Amino acid sequence: MFRYLPTLCCLFAALSAGAQSSVPSELSSRIPALMQRDRIPGLTVAYFETGKPVWVQHFGVAAKGTGAPITDSTRFEAASLTKVVTAYMALLLTGSHELNLDTSLRDYLGNNYDVGDDPRFAGVTARRVLSHSAGFPNWRRDSLLPILFTPGEKFQYSGEGFVLLAKVMEKIKGRPFAQLAHDSVFLPLGMRHSKMMFDTTLRALHAPRHTWMGNQGYAADYRNVNAAASMRTTAKDYASFLQAFLSGYRIAPAVFAQVFRSYSFPDAKKMPGVSWGLGLGLDSSATGRYAWHWGDQGDSKALFVADIRHRKGIVYFTNSANGLSPAADILSTGLGGSQQGVVDWVAYGKFEAPAAAFYTSLLQDGAEKALRAYLTTRENKIGEDMMNSIGYDLLRTKKYGDAIAVFRQNSVDYPGSANVWDSLAEAYMENGEKEPAIVNYEKSLRMNPGNSNAAQMLKKLRAQ
């Protein structure tokens, strides 16, 4: 039998009515302007403080095309915030001695999963998966899952590791992962509007995605369960979960003591305060230690950051590709202090008004004319990530020539970035131009020897 959380439920029932903090009113005043600035159609947010009522509020619309409002039951894509729920589930099993954080996951599965005969698979453990140091790429390119380096050697963000860990949990408990999530997390924490997949019976309650230009896209109605990315939820539900996780609710004390330790470091030079604990990003600064995670499903994005010591935090979900753009503003209002590591991490999502004007011109006049006008009149360069996004928008709609032109300009503006050469190579490859694709992938790999995508694509191209 699971014990429920009456205290948390009562807090949420109160919502903003009894909140004493000034944070809710400050967020209420500021968020609409941020959404207008960054072309975000809809945003739902929850703020929580230990021992104080939680505030939840919705802004904008769930679907721009219909004007459908956001309600308490509107489901948003959790994207990679799903991983934190998966981590919590693994920690519960660790506390019940059904899962050992340092035992090879191969021992639980009884097979080599999709790794093949790579002996390094023996070093893949739950701890390394949760700290993104198992050696897997984020996502595989084909049926074989490669191990890129010796497990435990360094940080490499990976959704594949969480999918593997879910398979292990299914094997241990003998139940599908979605059912495990419902039974061990959603039900005991009162998360009535959360599931590990799109619910086709409640289609109208799912917020569709919107492009970075603010146009409605589609509802991501795939029904497959993915332990790294497929959860649908509300800000209120997810805040309930965070309060439970941050307080160690139902986690064995000896296990909870390990959660906020730093096990891997993404970039010690550029982001010295950022590390990874057990399923959570960590950001240390002069104002405290923060647990965090971001979610990026393309045209829908999410973020939470919580003060570990004081167990207060903020979580928000958006139906927009620009959902990370107001992160710094929302965090400064909601938490104060400094979460610079988080801000730097999600900076790639910043909306740029000049980019919107350039993109409009590009669609009307084509890349050659739009680029000529842009280069003649620009005061500042469009950011590397923003220009890359424009290129990929063109690539998705099979405007290969325009995409190549945009990526080429990005390589001129940011020649020191391995990523721009990788993107240019991909555009050439999609256009059937093998030789320039190889040249640019080689350049990207020379600049960043750890670029596993470039290495895999070169292998594929050379085999043709």
pLDDT band at 1 (very low <50, low <70, confident <90, very high): very low
Q: Given a cut of 80, is residue 26 above it in pLDDT?
A: yes
Contact assessment for residue 210 and residue 65, using Cβ atoms and an 8 Å cutoff: no
For residue 219, the model assigns a pLDDT of 86
**What's the CA gap between 448 and 425, in Å, rounded?**
14
Check if 6-83+178-349 and 353-463 are the same fold. no
For residue 53, the model assigns a pLDDT of 66
Tokens of 118: 């790579």
Q: What is the pLDDT of residues 191-223, one digit of tens each?
A: 999 999 999 999 999 999 999 999 999 888 988
For residue 168, the model assigns a pLDDT of 98
Q: Name the residue ranges covered by the structural domains of the chain.
A: 6-83+178-349, 353-463
Q: What is the pLDDT averaged over residues 85-101?
A: 98
Tokens of 100: 């050992």
For residue 99, the model assigns a pLDDT of 98
For residue 54, the model assigns a pLDDT of 84
Q: Given a cut of 80, is residue 35 above it in pLDDT?
A: yes
Q: What is the pLDDT of residues 71-80, one digit of tens each?
A: 999 999 999 9
Q: What is the pLDDT of residues 36-54, one digit of tens each?
A: 999 999 999 999 988 566 8
Q: Given a cut of 90, is residue 323 above it in pLDDT?
A: yes
Fold of 6-83+178-349: Beta-lactamase (3.40.710)
**What's the CA gap between 372 and 380, in Å, rounded?**
15
**What's the CA gap between 100 and 97, in Å, rounded?**
7
Q: What is the pLDDT of residues 232-247, one digit of tens each?
A: 999 999 999 999 999 9
Mean pLDDT of the chain: 93
For residue 20, the model assigns a pLDDT of 58
Q: What is the pLDDT averaged over residues 399-414?
A: 97
For residue 126, the model assigns a pLDDT of 98
DSSP 358: H
Tokens of 10: 């009562």
For residue 141, the model assigns a pLDDT of 84
Question: Would you say domain 353-463 falls under CATH 3.40.920.10?
Answer: no
